[in-house]
Amino acid sequence: MKRFPSLSSPLLGYAALLLAACSAQTPPPASSPAPKAASEPEQTSVVHDESAKSEPRVLVADKVRTSGALLPPLPVAVTSFGAAAASDALYVVGGYSGTPHAYSREGQSKAVLEYRSGEAGWQKIAELPEGLQGLASVLFGRELCSFGGSHAENAASEATIMKSRARALCLDLDKKTWRELPDLPAPRSSHAAALIGSTVYVTGGWSLSGRPDSGVFTSELALLDLSSKTPTWKALPAPFQRRALAVAGVGQNLVVVGGMSEEGRPTAKTDVYDARSGQWSSAPDFPGDAFGIAASSLGDRVYASGREGILYSYRPGDKEWIRVRTLAYGRFFHQLVPQGGELVALGGIGGMHTRGRTRVIEKIPLSGLSYGQLTVESPMSAKNRQGYFVSGEEVYLFGGNRSLEQHDFEREHFTSEGWSFDLATLTFTEAAPFPYRRQSMQTIATEGGGLALGGFGHEPLTSPESQAVSHPEVFRFYAEEGRWSEDGAFPRGRTQFGVAQNERGLFVLGGLNYDPSRKNAFEHDRSIWRRAPSSATFETLEVTLPGPRRAFAGAQIADKYYMVGGMKENFELAPDCQIFDLQTETFESMPCPAARLSGDLIPAGGKLYLLGGSVKRGDALTESDEVEVFDPAKKTWSKLPFQLPLPVRHLRAFPYRDQILLLTTHSPQSELTMALLSPQ
Reply yes or no on whether the pLDDT at 7 is more than 50.
no
Reply yes or no on whether the pLDDT at 114 is more than 60.
yes
| 432: Cβ contacts below 8 Å, ≥ 6 apart | 398, 418, 477, 482, 483, 484
**Residue 189 in contact with residue 163, Cβ under 8 Å?**
no
Distance between CA atoms of residues 247 and 297, nearest Å: 9
Mean pLDDT across the stretch 234-258? 98
Distance between CA atoms of residues 387 and 397, nearest Å: 6
Helix (H) or strand (E) run with residue 143 in it:
strand 143-147
Q: Confidence class of residue 51 from pLDDT cuts 50, 70 and 90?
A: very low
pLDDT digit string, tens, across residues 260-285: 999 999 999 999 999 999 999 999 99
Q: Please count the residues of the chain.
A: 680
Q: Three-class SS of residue 126?
A: strand
Reply yes or no on whether the pLDDT at 10 is more than 90.
no
pLDDT of residue 34: 34
Each as own residue / partner, the long-range contacts of residues 486-492 (CB below 8 Å, 24 or more positions apart, any chain) are 486/435, 487/451, 487/536, 488/531, 488/536, 488/537, 488/538, 490/453, 490/454, 490/529, 490/538, 491/529, 491/538, 491/540, 492/525
Distance between CA atoms of residues 223 and 226, nearest Å: 9
Reply yes or no on whether the pLDDT at 48 is more than 60.
no
Reply yes or no on whether the pLDDT at 105 is more than 90.
yes
Distance between CA atoms of residues 216 and 590, nearest Å: 64
| Half-sphere exposure at residue 220, Cβ-oriented, CA atoms within 13 angstroms | 13
- The 10 Å Cβ neighbour count of residue 246 is 29
Q: Confidence class of residue 307 from pLDDT cuts 50, 70 and 90?
A: very high
Reply yes or no on whether the pLDDT at 39 is more than 50.
no
Cα torsion 149, 155, 161, 164 to 10°: value is -10
- The 10 Å Cβ neighbour count of residue 625 is 20
pLDDT of residue 78: 97
pLDDT of residue 54: 62
HEC per residue, 182-250? CCCCCCEECCEEEEECCEEEEECCEECEECHHHCEECCEEEEEECCCCCCCCEEEECCCCEECCEEEEE
pLDDT of residue 4: 23
Distance between CA atoms of residues 453 and 445, nearest Å: 11
Reply yes or no on whether the pLDDT at 547 is more than 60.
yes
Reply yes or no on whether the pLDDT at 106 is more than 50.
yes
Distance between CA atoms of residues 432 and 445, nearest Å: 17
Mean pLDDT across the stretch 51-62? 76
Distance between CA atoms of residues 582 and 543, nearest Å: 11
Bridge partners (DSSP) listed for residue 653 = 662
Alpha-carbon Rg of the chain, whole angstroms?
28
**Residue 193 in contact with residue 202, Cβ under 8 Å?**
yes
pLDDT of residue 353: 78
Distance between CA atoms of residues 638 and 644, nearest Å: 16
Cα torsion 541, 547, 548, 552 to 10°: value is -100
Distance between CA atoms of residues 370 and 659, nearest Å: 9
Mean pLDDT across the stretch 327-339? 97
**Residue 300 in contact with residue 250, Cβ under 8 Å?**
yes
* Average pLDDT of the residues of the chain: 91
**Residue 674 in contact with residue 655, Cβ under 8 Å?**
no
Q: Three-class SS of residue 302?
A: strand
Reply yes or no on whether the pLDDT at 441 is more than 90.
yes
Reply yes or no on whether the pLDDT at 33 is more than 70.
no
Distance between CA atoms of residues 164 and 133, nearest Å: 9
Instruction: Name all domains of the chain by residue range, CATH numbers in brackets.
Output: 12-38+374-678 (2.120.10.80), 79-364 (2.120.10.80)
Distance between CA atoms of residues 13 and 123, nearest Å: 56
Reply yes or no on whether the pLDDT at 32 is more than 70.
no
Distance between CA atoms of residues 46 and 655, nearest Å: 28
More confident residue, 45 or 216: 216
Mean pLDDT across the stretch 75-103? 95
pLDDT of residue 16: 32
Bridge partners (DSSP) listed for residue 562 = 555, 579
Mean pLDDT across the stretch 442-462? 95
pLDDT of residue 355: 81
Reply yes or no on whether the pLDDT at 100 is more than 90.
no
Q: How is 651-672 classified by DSSP, letter by letter?
A: -EEEEETTEEEEEE---TT-EE
pLDDT digit string, tens, across residues 121-175: 999 999 999 999 999 999 999 999 999 999 999 999 999 999 999 999 999 999 9
pTM value is 0.90
pLDDT of residue 35: 32
pLDDT digit string, tens, across residues 638-668: 999 999 999 999 999 999 999 999 999 999 9
